Structure 1
Amino acid sequence: MLNTFHMNLSTIKITGNFNKMMTGALLTMSTLFLTACSTKETPVPESSSMMFVNTSPTPATYNVYVNNGLASPGALPFGGAMSYLKLNTGEQSIKFTTASSSESLITKKITLENNKAYSLFLIGKEDKLDYLVINDLITKMPVDKAMIRFINLTPDATSLELGIKEGATLIGDKAYKENSDFIDVEAKKLTLQIKEKGTGLVISELVDTEFKAGSIYTILSIGMVTPTGQEQKATAKLVNN
């Protein structure tokens, strides 16, 4: 049967009309191909974003490098925050150095996913510097309230809680390096206190701090409850995400 088909096909007489039809078809296909190419959207590179905060409880300042390129506009002091930086997805190398040197104090590789935001906190001190990376996940943003989260980055603290002065506890029982989810708070001025769980001892507070509707905040406990030498004393740090 294959032979018969081949013979019939080989004896077809190609007429001028067929040539014209094929030429027209090829032109049409070329036009469609060019049109498809011209209307195809340019791929958008995948990216994520990351905020950097220095919570190492010392007077030292640090530069931030991403893949060996200087990322920070200036050295970050204790409590210093660098707003979200757009980064490629996938594996990225993050390095911290002193303000006066490009020699690495700590370098680690982290993996970033597309369309996600992260916060990277420099923790520890001297030869025990480390990173804490948190995914800044927000499922729903209310338009008439603010959103806050709390992170305990005070190394010598017991479990800590965040509450309104002479009012309700908003977020409780966070050990060192633990973070809460984002929660809603009223959009107004509040005095918030960071306390030791159980004893109620006030570690630090944010006095008459305005929280704006539609804004996102991270509240940190940083520094040492009992500092020694040049260590920084425990304090509350507010970061506007």
Structure 2
Amino acid sequence: MKTLFMNLTKSISALTLIVSTICLFGCLPDNNDQPLPDTAFVTIYHGSPDAPEIDIYAEARKITQSPLRFGESFPYSQFFVGKRLLRFSPHLAVNTLLESEFTFEKNKVYSVFLANTVSELQAIQVEDIWTEPDADHAQIRLAHLSPDSGEIEVILNQNIRHFGEGHSFREISEFKKIEKGKYRVEVISKATGEVLVSSNEIDLRGNRVYSLVIRGFETPINTNKPLSIQLITNYIKF
């Protein structure tokens, strides 16, 4: 896992997703002679379709430079290990939508998914564990974040059940190896067999790790966030 952590550090630095390896959430001491504290990598995804743009606070410190919108991710960044209190508020507002405590361990990588409707907002923490992809393969997982779609099945190219045969709301699957190539995605209701949404071909490239996110409302009410499919790149092996 330490190798993954170091490779992710190199990947993120190459992509300039963080300003530097000293941009840690929890505030570093000013004494340059002190060794850097133990850290974990954390990304946060906004998957609540009727929630507003949000600001994120770690303890009392605001960590987002711009509001996080639905379907956007706060990029992998280094957090102090131990118990961390994260607070999610509407952009530029003083009220809080959700406040949750998370535990991060040294040299581990995590995703936090904001899920459900804004009135029942939840934060799902998962540890991100993948094997190193190669030039001919990727790693990919499924995140079911659609509040009203019920149990679903996701099929690739009409007959590949890469993620298994059923997924409940808020279920985040493990990363699995897949051959690089172009894939058409269909999201099917387990209750009715109906195709709820499908995609044009997505291009899964080698040396990459992805999350396939099913998001939005199957039946939108007073919102422009209908059910949709999103592909997120978690990691690139350079």
Deviations 1:20-64 (A, max 9, x none): xxxxxxxxxxxxxxxxxxxxxx85521101111111111621111
Which shifted more, 124-133 or 90-99?
124-133
Q: CA deviation at 1:103?
A: 3.1
Counterpart position of 1:190: 183
Q: 1:90 aligns with which of 76, 82, 92?
A: 82
Q: Which residue number corresponds to residue 211 of structure 1?
A: 204
Note closer, same or farther for the CA distance 1:181–1:121 as it changes in structure 2 (3 Å cut).
Answer: same
Count of residues in correspondence between the two structures = 200
- Residue 133 (str. 1) matches residue 113 (str. 2): no
Matched, 1:112 2:93: no
Residues 161-185 of structure 1 deviation map (CA, whole Å, 9 limit, x = unaligned):
2221323221121101112111122
Number of the residue aligned with 1:228: 221
1:157 aligns with 2:149: yes
Distance 2:147 2:207 in 1: 32
Instruction: Verify the 8 A CA contact 1:164 1:170 in the aligned structure 2.
Output: yes
Q: CA RMSD in A?
A: 1.9
Aligned equivalents of 2:93 and 2:154: distance in 1? Answer: 38
Deviates more, 1:64-73 or 1:80-89: 64-73
* Contact 1:224–1:234, Cα closer than 8 Å, also in 2: yes
**1:189–1:209: 8 Å Cα contact kept in structure 2?**
yes
Residues 1:99 and 2:88 are matched in the alignment: no
2:24 counterpart residue number: none
In 2, Cα distance between the equivalents of 1:134 and 1:127? Answer: 22
Partners of 1:118 and 1:133 within 8 A in 2: yes
In the superposition, relative to structure 1, how do residues 207 and 59 fare at CA in structure 2: closer, same or farther (>3 Å)? farther
Q: Which moved more, 1:156-165 or 1:87-96?
A: 156-165
Asked whether the equivalents of residues 59 and 231 of structure 1 are also in contact (C-alpha less than 8 Å), the reply is no
Output one character per residue of 1:61-99: Cα deviation in whole Å (capped at 9) or x when no partner.
Answer: 111111221112311111111210110100001111111
The answer for the alignment partner of 1:70 in structure 2 is 62
Q: By percentage of residues, which structure has more helix?
A: 1
Secondary structure of 2:55's aligned partner: strand
Shift of 1:110: 0.7
Asked whether the equivalents of residues 155 and 176 of structure 1 are also in contact (C-alpha less than 8 Å), the reply is: yes
Question: 1:195, 1:202 within 8 Å by CA — same for their partners in 2?
Answer: yes
Q: Output the TM-score relative to the length of structure 2.
A: 0.77
Offset from partner CA, 1:175-196 (integer Å, 9 cap, x none):
0111211112221222222222
Identity percentage over the alignment? 23
Rg larger in structure: 1
1:124 Cα shift?
2.3
Change (3 A) 1:212 1:111: same
| One-letter amino acid matched to 2:68 | L
Q: 1:200 and 1:143 mapped to 2: Cα distance?
A: 36
Q: Which deviates further from its counterpart, 180-189 or 145-154? A: 180-189
